[in-house]
Amino acid sequence: MAQSITQIDLNSDLGEGFGPWGMGDDETMLSIVTSANIACGGHASDPETMFKTLTLAKENGVSVGAHPGYNDREGFGRRVIPMSPTEVGRMVVAQIGALQAMAKMVGTEVSYVKAHGALANLAARDANVAQAMVQAIRDIDPDLTILAISGTQVEQVCKAKGHRVYSEIFADRGYLSNGQLVPRGQDGAMIHDPTQAADRLLTMLDTGLMPVIDGDPIPLDAHSICVHGDSPSAVAMAQEIRNQLRAAGISIQNFMDL
């Protein structure tokens, strides 16, 4: 049996508004999570949104990561845009650079990278895209940690290159037996009930096995738990998960410190 996990990070995708249009309750989420994946101008965000979110993260002592995605605000980065792997790499580093520059203005720094939406899912299964994305990140800053969906190509490429990588699991998403997330729109893709999500996570952290919708539970590494910030139940879910984990004796802390 896998050894029970006693320490874990909580992360959320934040700063996903644009102009006067907000998305989620970033201020409250930043009082709950320990890592913030901040949109950097691709699927969402703009300079002012980045600045505000980075400032709130700094005030709350929350670690900051760049959250690049396809340049597709209309689709919220959840549609694959046809691009070559090298084009994907350049798109990713351009967005990272934007957030790094804004972080300097705030007096904080970008510690890691976590891809968003359709880009993250494509890189999770496509070794060529994963290779190009990881190499591009290494080219601009080899010290940037990567937060990868557990058990996927990005994780494997990082390990092969000797690049620092941590693995995340999702509180509010269903899994397939191949380790991929259930595509949005399909039955079982989303988990909306905070108690159900917390119970599933506690079982997974105790056994090392993640329930799936199409077979037996699968083994996954877990350094961080993601709660999507754009979900209507995001704050309630994040708070319930934090409370239940702490009640079970699991320490909540940034994955970079684990």
Q: Residue 1: which pLDDT band, with cuts at 50, 70 and 90?
A: very low
**pTM for the whole thing?**
0.94
Q: Residue 2: which pLDDT band, with cuts at 50, 70 and 90?
A: low
pLDDT at res. 164: 97
Residue 63's nearest CA partner among 101, 18, 10, 25 is 10
Which structure tokens are listed for 143?
């010290």
pLDDT tens sequence across 94-126: 999 999 999 999 999 999 999 999 999 999 999
Give me the chain's average pLDDT, please. Answer: 95
pLDDT tens sequence across 204-230: 999 999 999 999 999 999 999 999 888
Task: Sketch out the chain's domains with CATH numbers.
Answer: 7-257 (3.20.20.370)
Residue 120's nearest CA partner among 99, 144, 147 is 147
Per the model's pLDDT, the better-predicted residue between 55 and 231 turns out to be 55
> Which residue matches tokens 């557990």?
150
Mean pLDDT confidence for 183-197: 90
pLDDT at res. 67: 98
The radius of gyration of the chain from alpha carbons, rounded to an integer in Å, stands at 17
Cα angle 165-167-169, degrees, rounded to a multiple of 5 = 160
pLDDT tens sequence across 17-71: 999 999 999 999 999 999 999 999 999 999 999 999 999 999 999 999 999 999 9
Q: Residue 258: which pLDDT band, with cuts at 50, 70 and 90?
A: confident
pLDDT at res. 3: 62
Contact status, residue 88 vs residue 121, Cβ threshold 8 Å:
no
pLDDT tens sequence across 118-151: 999 999 999 999 999 999 999 999 999 999 999 9
Element (H, E) at 245: helix 234-247
Contact status, residue 165 vs residue 155, Cβ threshold 8 Å:
yes
pLDDT tens sequence across 168-182: 999 999 999 988 899
Would you state the torsion angle of the CA atoms of residues 204, 207, 211, 214, taken in this order, to the nearest 10 degrees? 160
